[in-house]
């Protein structure tokens, strides 16, 4: 039954349309409003506030404020003002903080921060009335004072306003962001997932958005569930309402054209506008969608002989990591970390206390356990199967074993033709089936929620271990053999390239969605030696990888080798912290992706420094499709787990598009 007031106020009301909204704090009010205007309401919270309790950036702000080092402080929300002071009063006296604020120019965005500041005894210098966006706020600050050289602090709330920060910096201001909350997905995601399924099934008539974070989280959950293309198609068939310009810009950036905005950016006005306009929009939308759907289904790759074989990587085509490998826009910058299942995690150490490293690699249930634990503990965007780059050397019967504190040791290194003749007949990836079994168990545990990364050492790095008998600083034995016995070098590298290609395909067939090739030691070579002694074999390995599975080609110390590595092949190129990401990408070319490149040592810094460095890398990537955030090498054993979690949350927060 439709309430008569809905007809009076809207000219017809929803008329029983199925309306989905994503409000959190005002969920009950939203449902009541939709039903009052004659809609069938589903309200699925898409975001939750998570106060940042360990917040060194906030305490650093307070220290600079008390020292008189800010010229202007901007407060964006009333709740954020109260939460910030609640946190700071653990360490500083309120009266000192208030006195310091009275001595600087303060800007309040809307009446709520004005009221919160008054509760503290501070009258804001400039009140920017609602409704407004960051642009109106910037214009008001522009009129207030010359910004060049001014030191400005901005109280953030939920997600950083990169546009505002960058606009102030473009005017010469020195900007400090003061985080208070992080926006996260709700603890109970099932209502959100149910709403997504409704949209994907094209059973939603009208969808309402009141925050850009709602959009980012909706897309992120759909990507995790592998239904992002279906979500976009369902949204493009519904009447989509946006509360205002920022929200609309977010929708357009993700391929969704909003159908209407309210006259004023308020929830009540949005529902009223939806009730007035949605019935007519829904009536005309299906034909427009059929005429030209904006999102096409991912194509099925053909295997040899023309037989369609979608392959594992097409099971989750909408996941941000796979989108990045294809250089497609994604909801946020995906992040995974090399050595993310390792000694820095207490859960890993508990397993390691009971089993040797090699036993953990060779027992699929143990390898899967530590793989899945890392994904669940960290909330990274992909699992990388727990294994070791040297496993392809096991079948060669060269005495590979792992010594505590010394790493891998090879008892019988290959340095002569006779050594290779003894080992070569045993070279087969089939002896590594236990890695495929670990991937299958991991897939059953994770379902389709996360892509799985398989990996192997690159031919040069494996050859270096095989020839040196372990790790090396100068690679004297390796390079001497390379220079003086070129035929033997060719045989070694050809054998390793063949086995590595077979091994990577074994992992893909078991369920890996993409693979990474680790050339950890290739940075010891100059460009000429790389092109002569390495490039042909790396190219052969990558060319052997099954069609449809993206390849990440990674090396350390490779600033002088990037163009040659690009020639060797790969869809994404991993770079370490020794090279600027933007410069590396320019050299590699825009038709490939780039992975990296956070310094692993920086994970020992405080959260404020981690945030600063992560922001710098994201700015270097400039939001271009194809960036996968990662470290420049593996996580170190002593790294604080909380700092690793913080980095992942920061990347998700700052890169939400």
Average pLDDT over residues 457-480: 94
Output DSSP code: residue 296: P
Distance between CA atoms of residues 425 and 495, nearest Å: 10
Q: For residue 597, say if its preceding peptide bond is cis, omega within 30 degrees of 0.
A: yes
pLDDT at position 35: 93
DSSP 630: -
Res 378 pLDDT > 70: yes
Q: What is the pLDDT of residue 160?
A: 64
Flag the least confident range among 36-40, 157-161, 413-417, 544-548: 157-161
pLDDT given at position 55? 81
What is the band of 579 on the pLDDT scale with cuts at 50, 70, 90?
A: very high
pLDDT band, very low/low/confident/very high, at 592 (cuts 50, 70, 90):
very high
Q: pLDDT for 476-511, tens place per residue?
A: 999 999 999 999 999 999 999 999 999 999 999 999
Are 157 and 50 in contact, with CB atoms under 8 Å apart? no
**pLDDT tens digits for range 85-111:** 999 999 999 999 999 999 999 999 889
Radius of gyration of the chain (CA): 28
pLDDT recorded at residue 9: 42
Cβ-based neighbours of 623, under 8 Å, separated by 6 or more: 655, 657
pLDDT tens string 319-376: 899 999 999 999 899 999 999 999 999 989 999 999 999 999 999 999 999 999 999 8
User: Distance between CA 68 and CA 530 in Å, rounded?
Assistant: 55
pLDDT at 210: 92
The residue with greater pLDDT, 83 or 453, is 453
What is the 3-class SS of 411-430, one letter each residue?
A: CCCCCCHHHHHHHHHHCCHH
Residue 121 has pLDDT above 60, yes or no: yes
pLDDT, average across residues 287-296: 35
- Is the pLDDT confidence value at 50 over 70? yes
List the single range of 49-63, 588-602, 625-639, 641-655 with lowest mean pLDDT.
49-63
pLDDT of residue 312: 41
Q: Which long-range contacts (CB under 8 A, 24 or more apart) does 375-379 make?
A: 375/340, 375/446, 375/450, 377/345, 377/347, 377/641, 377/645, 378/337, 378/340, 378/644, 378/645, 378/648, 379/645, 379/648, 379/649, 379/652
C-alpha–C-alpha distance, residues 109 and 498, integer Å: 62
Q: Is the per-residue pLDDT at 300 higher than 60?
A: no
- More confident: 135 or 434: 434
Identify the residue with better confidence: 586 or 287.
Answer: 586
What's the pLDDT score for residue 7?
40
Confidence (pLDDT) at 287: 44
Taken in order 402, 403, 408, 410, the sign of the CA dihedral is negative
Place of tokens 């929803």: 14
**Is residue 593 within a helix (H) or strand (E), and if so which, with residue range?**
strand 593-595
Share of the chain above pLDDT 90, in %: 65
What is the arithmetic mean of pLDDT over 575-592? 95
What DSSP element (H or E) covers 190? helix 190-200
CA–CA distance, 111 with 119 (Å, rounded to integer): 12
pTM for the whole thing? Answer: 0.57
Check pLDDT > 70 for residue 294.
no
The predicted structure's pLDDT at residue 449: 80
Catalytic residues: 339, 343, 352, 388, 465
Which of 161-175, 192-206, 377-391 is least confident?
Answer: 161-175
Judging by DSSP bridges, how do beta strands 593-595 and 627-628 pair with one another? parallel
pLDDT (0 to 100) of residue 52? 76
* pLDDT recorded at residue 3: 35
**Cα torsion angle, 5, 10, 16, 17, sign:** negative
Average pLDDT, the chain: 87
My answer on whether omega of the bond before 10 falls inside 30° of 0, hence cis, is no
- How far is residue 158's CA from residue 153's CA, in Å, rounded to a whole number? 16
Position 313 scores a pLDDT of: 39
Q: What is residue 361's predicted lDDT score, i.e. its pLDDT?
A: 95
Give buried/exposed letters for 376-404 (b at 16+ CB in 10 A, else e).
Answer: ebbebbbbbbbbbbbbbbbbbebebeeee
Is the predicted pLDDT of residue 580 greater than 50, yes or no? yes
Integer Cα distance of 348 and 339 in angstroms: 11
Query: For residue range 517-576, what is the model confidence (pLDDT) as tens digits?
Result: 999 999 999 999 999 999 999 999 999 998 789 999 999 999 999 999 999 999 999 999
8 Å CB contact between 361 and 392: no
How many Cβ atoms are within 10 Å of 532's Cβ, its own excluded?
A: 12
pLDDT at residue number 403 = 77
Taken in order of first residue, the domains within the chain and their CATH numbers are 4-47+187-290 (3.40.50.10090), 51-184 (3.40.50.10090), 357-368+386-512+514-549 (3.20.20.210)
The neighbouring-strand residues paired with 519 are 555
**For residue 25, pLDDT beyond 50:** yes
**462: nearest Cα among 423, 436, 417:** 423
Query: What pLDDT, on a 0 to 100 scale, did the predictor assign at position 652?
Result: 92
Q: Sign of torsion, CA 293 298 299 300?
A: negative
């Amino acid at each position: 039954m439709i309430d008569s007031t809905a007809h009076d106020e809207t000219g017809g009301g929803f008329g029983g349309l199925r309306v989905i909204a994503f409000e959190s704090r005002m969920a009950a009010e939203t449902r009541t409003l939709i039903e009052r205007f004659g809609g069938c309401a589903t309200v699925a919270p898409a975001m939750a506030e998570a106060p940042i309790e360990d917040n060194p950036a906030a305490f650093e702000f307070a220290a600079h404020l008390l020292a008189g080092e800010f010229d202007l402080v901007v407060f964006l929300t009333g709740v954020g003002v109260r939460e910030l002071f609640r946190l700071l009063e653990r360490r500083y006296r309120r009266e000192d903080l208030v006195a310091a604020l009275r001595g600087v120019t303060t800007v309040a965005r809307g009446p709520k921060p004005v009221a919160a500041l008054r509760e503290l005894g501070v009258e804001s210098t400039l009140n920017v009335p609602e409704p407004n966006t960051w642009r109106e706020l910037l214009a008001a600050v522009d009129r207030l004072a010359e910004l060049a050289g001014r030191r400005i602090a901005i109280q953030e709330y939920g997600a950083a306003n990169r546009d505002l920060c960058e606009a102030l910096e473009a005017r010469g201001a020195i900007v400090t962001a003061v985080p208070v909350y992080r926006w996260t997905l709700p603890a109970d995601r099932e209502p959100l997932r149910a709403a997504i399924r409704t949209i994907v099934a094209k059973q939603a008539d009208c969808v309402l958005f009141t925050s850009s974070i709602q959009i980012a989280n909706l897309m992120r959950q759909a990507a995790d569930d592998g239904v992002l293309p279906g979500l976009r198609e369902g949204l493009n068939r519904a009447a989509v309402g946006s509360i205002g310009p920022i929200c609309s810009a977010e929708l357009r950036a993700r391929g969704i054209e909003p159908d209407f905005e309210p006259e004023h950016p308020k929830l009540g006005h949005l529902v009223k506008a939806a009730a007035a306009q949605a019935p007519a929009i829904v009536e005309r939308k299906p034909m427009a969608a059929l005429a030209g759907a904006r999102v096409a289904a991912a194509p099925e790759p053909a295997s040899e002989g023309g037989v369609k074989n979608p392959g594992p990587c097409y099971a989750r085509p909408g996941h941000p990591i796979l989108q990045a490998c294809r250089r497609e826009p994604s909801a946020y910058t995906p992040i995974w970390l090399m050595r993310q299942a390792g000694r820095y995690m207490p859960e890993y150490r508990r397993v390691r206390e009971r089993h040797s490293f090699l036993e953990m690699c060779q027992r699929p249930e143990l390898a899967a356990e530590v793989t899945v634990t890392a994904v669940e503990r960290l909330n990274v965007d992909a699992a990388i199967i727990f294994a070791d780059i040297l496993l392809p050397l096991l079948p060669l019967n060269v005495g590979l074993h792992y010594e505590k504190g010394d790493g891998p040791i090879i008892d019988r290194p290959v340095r002569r033709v006779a050594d290779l003749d003894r080992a070569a007949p045993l070279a087969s990836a089939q002896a590594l089936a236990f890695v495929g079994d670990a991937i299958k168990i991991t897939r059953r545990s994770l379902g389709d929620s996360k892509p799985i990364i398989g990996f192997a050492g690159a031919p040069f790095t494996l050859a270096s271990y095989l020839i040196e008998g372990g790790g090396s600083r100068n690679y004297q034995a390796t390079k001497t053999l390379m220079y003086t016995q070129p035929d033997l070098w060719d045989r070694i590298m050809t054998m390793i390239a063949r086995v590595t290609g077979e091994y990577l395909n074994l992992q893909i067939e078991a369920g890996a969605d993409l693979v990474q090739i680790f050339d950890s030691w290739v940075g010891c070579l100059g460009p000429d030696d790389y092109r002569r002694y390495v490039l042909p074999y790396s190219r052969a390995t990558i060319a052997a990888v099954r069609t449809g599975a993206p390849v990440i080609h990674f090396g350390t110390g490779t600033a002088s080798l990037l163009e040659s590595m690009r020639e060797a092949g790969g869809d994404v190129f991993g770079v370490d912290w020794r090279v600027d990401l933007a410069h590396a990408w320019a050299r590699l070319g825009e038709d490939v992706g780039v992975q990296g490149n956070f310094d692993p040592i920086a994970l020992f810094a405080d959260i404020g420094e981690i945030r600063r460095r992560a922001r710098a890398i994201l700015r270097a990537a400039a939001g271009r499709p194809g960036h996968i955030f990662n470290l420049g090498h593996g996580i170190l054993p002593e790294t604080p787990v909380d700092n690793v979690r913080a980095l992942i949350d920061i990347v998700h927060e700052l890169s939400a598009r």
